[in-house]
Structure 1
């Protein structure tokens, strides 16, 4: 057991303390945001914005360009989602949880393909095709871009894509040396499963409160 702990903390041996503290803080608020998402609670967005802001800085320090782009996009989608979730469909009710329409599925495919092309161009410009992880990053970025857009629009299917992205990201971040972040994705896998079933129970139900 001691060998496991020694290995775990050796990954942070040459990392400044403030970077480790920031990563733990970002992970904490990221998990909190995911939990609020499962609960269909508007607090998903202030906690998510705080988490992604910290991650953007950390990923810039680590030089993980694809992951940085993902979190910058999360930040933008959090602002959009905050607006969309608080819209009222009538005098008493907020936007409910719904399934993705045919038109939204078409838009989702366009976002996925557009993201793949965008990340490919960015990696070409900055010469980031130096590891197999770059190719996996491109795929997960496209998956998460679509998932976050669906989440912002309160679509049930966002959980399916988040589950796929989290499953891929758990070992990927472990390999990259961001151990705390890797375990965040492990917990996010569990939250995504429960989140799907929690949202499915409230599908198309009118919402009077965003602080469940």
Structure 2
């Protein structure tokens, strides 16, 4: 009950910020659905995905309007990954509501770390050369990191939260610079929820991992599936 009251209070706070910063109706809907989606994700609630799809649609149009084209394009990938994540979370869940949390493998982690600067440079260069993007390389970096975070989230890999923490910090600055103050404030709240999500998921993973110690490596890897590491 207390968590529901807290969430309602956050939504009211976001509406107040949106009103006093003269935000558009679209921006208000985008911020509220974004807040709900992240909050539900931190609680491992499957409703995070359908609400997230609404949020993605709102942000697609909003980013197009302010010429943040990397973030706009990102929403297309988010839409696809959200549908996929919705499906993945409901598979191989046993008796749980959703699939258990997993850890990233060394190979996947190295691959993503190499991919991040390469995609950022290519995407940023393309935006700078062929569009009137406002801040092409910063936009491309945040967009690429967000895509990596969403990919990990869709597979329910714990390390997605570390990526989102960095995305949130950088996004506060970028959206404030673009005078999207309600969205910037939303990302401040995201920071707090992301930290809570990281703590909650890590606690749940540790508890599940401890319970599975007696199952043996083959069973543990079957449960971890993608890049499982203790």
TM range (shorter): 0.7 to 0.9
Which whole-Å CA distance do the structure 2 matches of 1:30 and 1:151 have between them?
15
**Larger RCO (alpha carbons 8 Å, 6+ apart):** 1
Which whole-Å CA distance do the structure 2 matches of 1:183 and 1:98 have between them?
30
User: Structure 1, residues 178-205: CA drift from partner, whole Å, max 9, x if none?
Assistant: 1111111111011111110000111163
Question: Could you list the runs of 5+ residues in structure 2 that have no partner in the other structure?
Answer: 1-17, 210-230
Aligned twin of 2:205? 203
Of the three residues 170, 195, 203, the one matched with 1:193 is 195
Aligned twin of 1:3? none
Of the three residues 81, 106, 112, the one matched with 1:102 is 106
Aligned twin of 1:142? 144
Tell me, yes or no, if the aligned pair for 1:170 and 1:182 is still in contact at 8 Å. Answer: yes
TM-score normalised over the length of structure 1: 0.80
Which whole-Å CA distance do the structure 1 matches of 2:20 and 2:183 have between them?
15
Q: How does 1:48-197 map to 2 (within 5 A)?
A: 48-88=52-92, 90=94, 92-93=95-96, 94-109=98-113, 111-113=115-117, 115-128=119-132, 131=134, 133-197=135-199
User: Structure 1, residues 103-157: CA drift from partner, whole Å, max 9, x if none?
Assistant: 321342354245324523541452346x5x3221121112111111111111111
TM-score normalised over the length of structure 2: 0.74
Q: Number of paired residues? A: 190
State the shift of 1:62 in Å. 2.2
Which whole-Å CA distance do the structure 2 matches of 1:81 and 1:114 have between them?
25
SS at match of 1:202: helix
Which whole-Å CA distance do the structure 2 matches of 1:140 and 1:95 have between them?
28
Q: RMSD in angstroms over aligned alpha carbons?
A: 2.4
Tell me, yes or no, if the aligned pair for 1:115 and 1:141 is still in contact at 8 Å. Answer: no
Which whole-Å CA distance do the structure 2 matches of 1:42 and 1:10 have between them?
33
User: Structure 1, residues 52-79: CA drift from partner, whole Å, max 9, x if none?
Assistant: 1111012122222011022222112101
